[in-house]
Amino acid sequence: MHPILFKAGPITIYTYGVLVFLGVIITYWLCLKEAAKEKIDKEVFSHIFFWAIIFGFLGARLLYIVLEWRLFLEEPLSFIFSRSGFVFYGGLISGISALWFLVKKFKLHFLKITDILAFYLPLGHFFGRLGCFSYGCCYGKPTNSWIGIKFPPNSPAGLLGTKVIPTQLIEAFSLLIIFFILQYSKKKKKFNGQITIVYLTLYSIFRFFIEFFRGDYRGGIGIFSTSQIISIITILIVSILLYQINTKTINR
């Protein structure tokens, strides 16, 4: 784990930020090429991508603040400007909401755009999870098994003083699996929204099970964390969407 990539005088470059930025840039570049194949204007797509990402990060931070509202009230500034403290599902929900309005504004097909983004989002998210690992956030439960990793004492996971399950790497590996499955799914694509449905379904399933091994507090109801509840809701929504698409296809 290398939380600091390098220092240049008074400037400190953090590995977490670099990896997240790298994930965003790679996702944008690949999505832009895919949008060009769909004959979508470059400037229009760039505008949509930029604001979807901005609202995505804002939503990810907001959901984190909601879950940790007690600590936020104690130190609001440190929460707002912290390098970590993002909940992916908050970003996904906020990003999709912004995307809906932007796509309608430019009179594009919503599911066609989400397919483009969903196709490469797991790859960008993969770099983000590597960033989490470098910083030591989003860690797993304490363990004495061979899989356990002991983080530096000044990291969030290191404060526990024991080895933890590297859930960041487990999720990163899961995202790569999803990405390669989507590569295959694209060859079998029959309708707009198919890639989006496959992505949301697979990620929700993977995330639901990974959550059982997480050790950091994320809120929840009963035995289920907030992310597990959102995963269940996502699968239900996806099932309804798939049913509606199949119904329209049959009635044509």
What's the domain count of the chain?
A: 1
Which residues have C-beta within 8 Å of that of residue 41, sequence separation ≥ 6? Answer: none
The boundaries of the domain holding residue 197 are 4-250
Most confident among 1-10, 30-39, 181-190, 240-249 (mean pLDDT): 30-39
**Which of 20-39 are b and which e, b meaning 16 or more Cβ less than 10 Å from the residue's Cβ?**
beebbeebbeebbebbeeee
Query: What is residue 139's predicted lDDT score, i.e. its pLDDT?
Result: 93
Q: 138: which residues sit within 8 A by CB, 6+ positions away?
A: 84, 129, 132, 167, 168, 171, 214, 216
pLDDT at 243: 82
Rounded Cα–Cα distance for residues 249 and 241 (Å)? 12
pLDDT at 120: 96
What pTM value is reported for the model? 0.88
Per-residue pLDDT at 252 exceeds 60:
no
Mean pLDDT of the chain: 89
pLDDT value for 121? 96
Identity of residue 182: L
Residue 82 pLDDT = 65
pLDDT tens, 160-188? 999 999 999 999 999 999 999 999 988 88
What local confidence, expressed as pLDDT, does residue 83 receive?
Answer: 59
Instruction: Work out the burial of residue 230: count CB atoms within 10 Å of its CB; fewer than 13 is exposed, 13-18 middle, 19 or more buried.
Output: buried
pLDDT at residue 85 tops 80: no
Predicted local distance difference test score (pLDDT) of residue 222: 81
Report the percent of the chain where pLDDT is more than 90.
62
**Residues 134-157 pLDDT 10s:** 999 899 999 999 999 999 988 889
- Residue 11: beta bridge partners? 8
